[in-house]
Each structure stands twice: as C-alpha cells, then as structure tokens.
Amino acid sequence: MEFTETFKQTGPCAFSPNARFLAVAVDYRLVVRDVLTLKVVQLFSCLDKISYIEWALDSEYILCGLFKRPMIQAWSLSQPEWTCKIDEGPAGISYARWSPDSRHILTTSEFQLRLTVWSLLNTACVHVQWPKHGSKGVSFSKDGKFAAVCTRHDCKDYVNLLSCQTWEVMGVFAVDTLDLCDIQWSPDDSAIVIWDSPLEYKVLIYSPDGRCLSKYQAYESGLGVKTVCWSPCSQFLAVGSYDQMIRVLNHLTWKVFAEFTHLSWVRGPCSAAVFKEVDEPLQLDMSELCLTNEFDQANAENGDEGFVQVRYDIMEVPITVPSQKPPSDKPNPKQGIGLLSWSSNSRYICTRNDSMPTAVWIWDLQHLELAAIVMQKESIRAAAWDPSSPRLVLCTGSSSLYMWTPSGAYCINVPLPDFSVMDLKWNVDGSCLLVKDRETFCCAALPVLQESTDYSSDD
C-alpha cells in the first residue's frame, strides 16, 4: 500500500461522485483537489467555518453547510465566479442536501418548521411543512424521479411523495408509527422501509404508492430497532436491534430468513476465523546499516518507543469477546448494533455491537454463518467496505489501518510521523482510500483485490 504526503484539513472531506476530485474543508476555505495528483484545482472562501460538504451528483456543484451562522453556500467547479448563498433568516438551517438532478438544494429549518426546495435555475422555491427530522427523514429514489419526505402533524406521521421534476406532491399516506425514526428507499426503487423509534420495535415496508407490504416486529417490551440497511442488490434488508442481534429479511415474503447473535462467549462448532490484534516488537539489528523496510526506517528516525508494530494472531475458539455493561443511569446506552454495513456484492455484512466496541463481526450471507471476528486493542472508530470488492478497512485511532478480506486479515502501519487514523473514506470507484488524522489527511492506493474465493462453491 502506498501513502501520499499529508495535507491540512479541519473538517469534512468528500470525494466527487465521478471519482475525479476531493473536496476538503480547511476552516472557512473549501479546497478542491485532483484525486490522482492531489494538486489544488479550485479554492473557494466561505463566510464561516465549514461544517458540512456535499457534492451534487453531476460533480459540477459543491454545497457547503455553515451551520453555525447558519447559512448554505454553493460553488461551481467549472464556473468559479458563480456563487450561491441560502439564508433562511430567523428560521435558520439545520441541514441541507442536493436533489438528484443537481439543480435543487433542500434545506430543513431549525425546529423542523419547514423543508424548502431551492432552485439554482430560477428564484422559485417550494415548501413542505412540518418535516419530521432535520438530517433524517428524506430519501430519494435511485432513478432520481421521486423524493419521500417524512412529516408529522396532528400527532401522526406521514410520508409525502414529491416529484423531483416539478416538486409537486404526488401523494401523501399515513404510516403506522408512534414516532417515526427514519426512511430508506430500496436500491431498486420497489419498496420503502420505515422504522419506529427505539421505544417501539416496528419495521414497516411500503410500496411507493403507499400500500403497506409488510409489518415486522421481533419482540415487545424492550428497546427496538437501532440500525437498518438495504443490501446493494435490494434482495435483503438487515435490521440491527438493541437486543444485540441482526435479522435479515428477504424481499419476496418480507420474512426473516437469517438471525445472527453477538455473544460475548464464542464457542464451537464455529468455522469463523478469529483475528486478534497484538503488539509485535521490531527486532532491529543495529549493527546493520540497512533497515528492513521504509516503516522500520521511519520509526527509527522518529525515535519510536520500543519500535513496536502490530499484527494479527489467529485465535482458537472458545474465546471471550471483551464487552462492557452500559451504565443504567445514563441515556442512549452503548449497546445494540451501532454499525451495520453490506459489502458491495451483497454477500457479507459487517457489524459492531456497541457493548463490544473493539470487535467487528463479519457474516457470510451465502452460507448463513459467521465468517470472521476481528478483535482490536482499541474501540473501532470507523469501518468501510471497498466499493469495488469485498474488502473491509477499519481504524481505531492508532497509527495503523486494519483490513479484512475473504482470504485473511492484515495490519497496515501508516509510515507517517505522529499520524493517528481517526476516520477513513473510500473513493466511489475504490481506487483510493482517504485516511484522516485530527488535522491532516493523506490518501492510500491499494492493490486490486484478487478474489480467490469461489462464491459458487461450498468450500
């Protein structure tokens, strides 16, 4: 793996949808870099510190949220002199997003008073009263034709279906929720999933015309749904709950066909590989002038204490996964499935049970079994699948990256002084990985994954 030099950042970073550019917030400046060379392509100055960045789908415009002011500014990559500023006045702005046509911006006011659709083509704007949430509760169909917006009035939750061409309301239907949490359109646009607040376990599947296709409730009298995610192929819907389980529904009957439990005690029979991060002191022969590799040389030059790097040990079951009991006197308990993500081929799911923050579980949907457990020394801060292959990369705030593939797990030391990996993000085509420290970032080029696993076999 090859790493670039570091560059300054103080906030969000985002790859363009066409995979050619990288937008980086540096205080009030928006820096746009070429992905291949990381040279500055454009530099824009905003009126305040940038809190949020989002590219338009055509990679032509960039939206910057200045939520402390609060205000939105948008910029054009091909027309640097073009500017756009959106200010809701006393209503404020809590969140903003692009429409699929890249020519409208949707903003939500403070206290969810209204959602406004602003046109970049003319001065027209459309209002939707009483949106349910600020950053949640809005989902676009993948073909870009419709927007589903959740609203609440008269103590009832509704879904408003809007046309993304005219922004007219095509239909409104009430949903059977006590306190709607969020909404997601399926990748094939055939269904919409809605789930209730954690106080009520309820997952509802609706057709775009408002017909309820299915209602799922795993249990009663307990904290319910925490995470929901469609598979990229749209055939599966994974639901993570506070009871430390994930349940996978199929798109034909909307029934559960797989349940996976996160147990602190893993015992046989178990075919999963268990990887545990351990320290490995570097054995350096100081009588030799040549060091083994660039990383050893960097550590030696920077006086790294003890010359320690890390590796994975393969553990035998039974094994105990470190867990922590959430305090009963604090809200938002650290338990349940807080991380849930599908691989690009819809075969694997990676999960993290928040009461076991140092472990990532990887489940194989083809064989309906646990494929691997990756146990770290520190809590996992982020995990992201390669968009082009079943390769998962993790970070824990250490100086290393951690990678899992169907062929094994690897520890990758970042050869940069005083660099701690706090977050990571893939380019949309999987060509490179953005690696963030607290105030700097670099990019890493990964070799193309040669998949040796035959998905059609049962080996």
Residue whose token pair is 């797989």 = 258
pLDDT band at 268 (very low <50, low <70, confident <90, very high): confident
For range 103-123, the mean pLDDT? 93
Q: What is the pLDDT of residues 184-199, one digit of tens each?
A: 999 999 999 999 999 9
Comparing 221 with 273, the larger pLDDT belongs to 273
pLDDT band at 91 (very low <50, low <70, confident <90, very high): confident
**Least confident range of 99-113, 188-202, 322-336, 399-413:** 322-336
Kindly report the length of the chain: 459
Q: What is the CATH number of domain 89-217?
A: 2.130.10.10
Comparing 317 with 404, the larger pLDDT belongs to 404
Is residue 301's pLDDT more than 60?
no
Q: Look at strands 273-281 and 369-375 and give their pairing.
A: parallel
Secondary structure of residue 305 in the 3-state scheme:
helix
- Share the mean pLDDT of the chain: 91
Is residue 414's pLDDT more than 50?
yes
Is residue 71's pLDDT more than 80?
yes
Q: What is the pLDDT of residues 129-175, one digit of tens each?
A: 999 999 999 999 999 999 999 999 999 999 999 999 999 999 999 99
Residue 292: the pLDDT is 43
Residue 282: the pLDDT is 64
Say which residues have a Cβ less than 8 Å from residue 350's Cβ, sequence separation at least 6.
Answer: 339, 340, 341, 343, 360, 361, 362, 363, 383, 385, 392
Domain 1-87 shares a fold with domain 89-217: no
Residue 304: the pLDDT is 44
pTM reported for the whole predicted model: 0.89
Domain-wise residue ranges, the chain: 1-87, 89-217
Q: What is the pLDDT of residues 14-67, one digit of tens each?
A: 999 999 999 999 999 999 999 999 999 999 999 999 999 999 999 999 999 999
Say which residues have a Cβ less than 8 Å from residue 194's Cβ, sequence separation at least 6.
Answer: 150, 159, 175, 177, 180, 182, 183, 203, 204, 205, 206
Residue 285: the pLDDT is 54
Residue 258: the pLDDT is 96
Residue 442: the pLDDT is 97
Instruction: Tell me how far the alpha carbon of residue 179 is from its chain's centroid.
Output: 24
Alpha-carbon torsion 36, 40, 42, 45, what sign? Answer: positive
Is residue 329's pLDDT more than 80?
no
Q: What is the pLDDT of residues 337-390, one digit of tens each?
A: 999 999 999 999 999 999 999 999 999 999 999 999 999 999 999 999 999 999
Is residue 455's pLDDT more than 50?
no
| Share above pLDDT 90 across residues of the chain, in percent, rounded to a whole number | 82
Q: How far is CA 65 from CA 28, 93, 170, 450, in A?
A: 11, 9, 29, 40
| Share above pLDDT 70 across residues of the chain, in percent, rounded to a whole number | 92
Residue 283: the pLDDT is 61
Nearest 10 degrees: CA dihedral of 424, 430, 432, 434?
A: -20
CATH architecture assignment, domain 1-87:
Beta Barrel (2.40)
Residue 295: the pLDDT is 42
Q: What is the pLDDT of residues 424-454, one digit of tens each?
A: 999 999 999 999 999 999 999 988 776 544 3
Do 153 and 129 touch, CB atoms closer than 8 A? yes
H-helix or E-strand containing 417? Answer: none
Q: What is the pLDDT of residues 210-235, one digit of tens each?
A: 999 999 999 998 899 999 999 999 99
pLDDT band at 284 (very low <50, low <70, confident <90, very high): low
Residue 98: the pLDDT is 98
For range 312-324, the mean pLDDT? 93
